Structure 1
């Protein structure tokens, strides 16, 4: 039994309020020479899952959230792998993913949904299979769950997690101890907060712009769309895929949202690595940063260069001594207060300004060397969760030479997401000229 780190517990507590499951999608071709039945597919995935320690866990809460929840060993559930026989169209698979119920509602941390006999998959000569790894954010950030997902389909297993020790194995004793230690833990968090303040460096003013219609409560409806292109298409001016996609979004978002180009911005998830030699490391090691899109710069290559510079600066800040000290201070917070902060944050009134019109999450999922039932991987996709301030998010995921831009839309954006996709396709097509 091990304890969830502060960042992982925050993700778990948030899942009790609103869905924050991650969906790691892989599409594979389905050669006619390798026909597999549903039990064959289930057995293949379950055998691989049996070898992964991350997939043999459940979360056990402490009464009153007076201590951090714990990872408890558990067998792979009977319903952990589900095969949907089809036939499906690619759009139908996306619609099924959009309507999937939260893992928290079923008390599980992960499931694999295999869609068989899928037509219309990019790069597939005929039919295809699509595997969707639905996973709790508590188990890891985009990098870690991508590593777990790769291992499910033939990749190397991820590095072992370095979760913290529990203060007491009995949850009632842990709750009593946690309640008694609120004062000392709060004092420690305050001291570490003062250290963080003393180490804080002067930083540029954070991005702060007026909300657009994409910054509205998304409601229950979700619409998912994808575009898959060669990586070279979005490496604008030789910059990274992430910078290139952001440079292209800069040409699309202002007109689509009827907003000023000079305000164009995106909230990007940035991974960080604290002390790699530490005995305890959270599974979620990322933060968000508002990135200006320089939409008023006409030249796309120059714009991508400016965005790349901003991304590099934001990553450097994420690794600064002040930010590291701030994360240590937050991780020292008493569990009861940390849990309350998550609940209160969900109920807080919407802010007057935002740091991004949309959220962008970008992860390279490695070489195209994965397989399912004898079929090679064709593409990978992912759909960052919507929030009360973002009804439009983008995933940027690469495997091999294929990059998929995924769009998740809700609220006022859901009704005309296909119009948005058409504009995005035009922008991508112009990038290839």
Structure 2
């Protein structure tokens, strides 16, 4: 199985635009020794074909890399010293600065034992952080892999993919080149027709874009994070958990930036996959409407706009338009990717912040005998996005996270924003 062109492009951009996913699960302290927990996790991972995987390049980089098999090894697990919640939060910020090499392994599991003061419980906790390449999984599929690692019952054994030998890779690359050239032309024609259809009156329009604000700047390499854990029932008073989070983020961000209107969020929306790509989502823009003072009315306005954006990305013409890279030969796509100028500042952005929301299912996960308390994650930053939010639910707990850079928001500024967000969430 080869990487889809869009997934390969994520990998090729990775050194300049880190985008690894970090899925954090907080468990009650285990009843077993940490060594036993690690051994059990390695045995569990060995049953999951997708986790016994790495990427291998085609000789001369003449085609897209292949996914192939590897064995589970010690290099895929790391332990870190525990401490109080503040110290562990600082450690999490350091972890999200890193990146895995998919040619070694597309994932790594970090364990942080003996954590005191973690939300959701009184005793010590064990944190498990599944770091996974965005070229390998999106938020939904990464959450499914984490569930397979931590659910009570062992998952059924699955087999990893296997790549052909290097000579066969080259033969295949040469054989499919004529079809790729024809496919590029055909994809362009179909995309042009799809663009016309999307401009028609029967399709909701795209978001207009937002003016840049102070957090729409280059973040630099360092990261800091914060996590607020809420009761899902409290958020659902305002609608869905995603809508409630958006309704709370708007006023908090407006107060922090001292901006009354015009703020928006970039929200990833899941879509059906139409091929071999491992990332099945599209990002849409949604106005945060901090100008609407009543939280219920604000949530209703956000929900209505989000539904329009979802209708647009679910339209069949959108899928056609998004597949223009399906047949581009790998050397051409890599040539263009390597020359992408990430320093260019656009006049507008889809949203002033990212809000990524994933429901990770029921709270029936365990690790070493300890029950799961909550789960969170820290969406990556990008050249004009120095503040992102994660909204992650498991069972009755929802974590709202904030990721930024100390080069943009120092500790005092970040704490001030998080306090505004906490109050806004409580006021829904």
> Normalization by structure 1: what TM-score?
0.89
Deviates more, 1:355-364 or 1:146-155: 146-155
Unaligned runs of 5+ in 2: none
After the TM superposition, which residues 259-298 of structure 1 pair with which residues of structure 2 at under 5 Å, given as runs? 259=259, 261-274=260-273, 280-298=275-293
Instruction: Name the CA distance, whole Å, in 2 between partners of 1:68 and 1:172.
Output: 11
Structure 2 residue 108 is matched with structure 1 residue 107? no
The answer to whether the 8 A contact 2:184-2:325 is kept is: no
Alpha-carbon offset, residue 378 of structure 1: 0.1
Quick one: distance in 1 between partners of 2:286 and 2:118?
A: 32
Per-residue CA shift, 1:193-251, capped at 9, x if unaligned? 234234334342533222111101001221110000101222243x1000011011111
Q: CA, structure 1 residues 26+417, in 2 after alignment: closer, same or farther (shift >3 Å)?
A: same
- Asked if 1:80 is matched to 2:79, the reply is no
Q: Which of these residues, 46, 67, 74, is aligned with residue 71 of structure 1?
A: 67
- What are the within-5 Å matches in structure 2 for residues 250-329 of structure 1? 250-259=250-259, 261-274=260-273, 280-329=275-324
Aligned-pair Cα RMSD in Å? 2.7
For 2:168, the equivalent position in structure 1 comes to 170
How far did residue 417 of structure 1 move? 0.8
- Separation in 2 of the partners of 1:15 and 1:76? 24
Which residue number corresponds to residue 19 of structure 1? Answer: 18
Offset, 1:113: 0.7
In structure 2, what is the Cα distance between the partners aligned to 1:160 and 1:351? 45
Q: After TM superposition, list the pairs within 5 Å mapping 1:325-404 onto structure 2.
A: 325-347=320-342, 349-404=344-399
CA distance in 2, matches of 1:158, 1:339: 37
Per-residue CA deviations over 1:352-382 (Å, capped at 9, x if unaligned) read 2112110110000000000000000000000
1:278-330 Cα deviation digits (max 9, x unpaired) = xx442110111111111111111111111111111111111102101112333
Counterpart Cα distance in 2 of 1:167 and 1:306: 55
SS of equivalent residue, structure 1 residue 103: coil
> In structure 2, how many angstroms separate the alpha carbons of the residues matched to 1:428 and 1:158?
40
User: Which 10-residue stretch deviates more, 62-71 or 308-317?
Assistant: 62-71
Answer yes or no: is the 8 Å Cα contact 1:265–1:358 preserved in 2: yes
Cα separation, partners in 2 of 1:105 and 1:76, compared to 1, 3 Å: closer
Given the superposition, is the C-alpha separation of residues 414 and 337 from structure 1 closer, same or farther in structure 2, using an over 3 Å criterion?
farther
In the aligned structure 1, how far is the partner of 2:68 from the partner of 2:297? Answer: 51
Return the TM-score normalized by structure 2: 0.90
Counterparts of 2:196 and 2:82, CA distance in 1:
60
SS in 2 for 1:302: helix
Partner of 2:126: 129
Q: Distance in 1 between matches of 2:416 and 2:332?
A: 44
CA distance in 1, matches of 2:162, 2:300: 40
Whole-angstrom distance in 2 between the partners of 1:424 and 1:143: 25
For 2:4 and 2:164, the matched residues in 1 are separated by 10
Note the residue ranges of structure 1 that are not aligned, 5 or more in a row: none
- State whether residues 19 and 385 of structure 1, in contact with CA within 8 Å, keep that contact through their aligned partners in structure 2: yes
What is the distance in 1 between the residues matched to 2:150 and 2:316? 38
Q: Is the 8 A contact 2:102 2:133 kept in 1?
A: no
Q: What residue in structure 1 maps to residue 9 of structure 2?
A: 10
Residue among 36, 40, 45 paired with 2:36:
40
Count matched residues: 420
SS of the residue corresponding to residue 138 of structure 1 reads: coil
CA distance in 2, matches of 1:352, 1:29: 47
Aligned pairs (5 A) from 1:415-430: 415=411, 416-430=413-427
Cα deviation code 1:367-422 (max 9, x no counterpart): 00000000000000000000001000000000000000011011312442111111
Distance across 2 between alignment mates of 1:153 and 1:409: 29
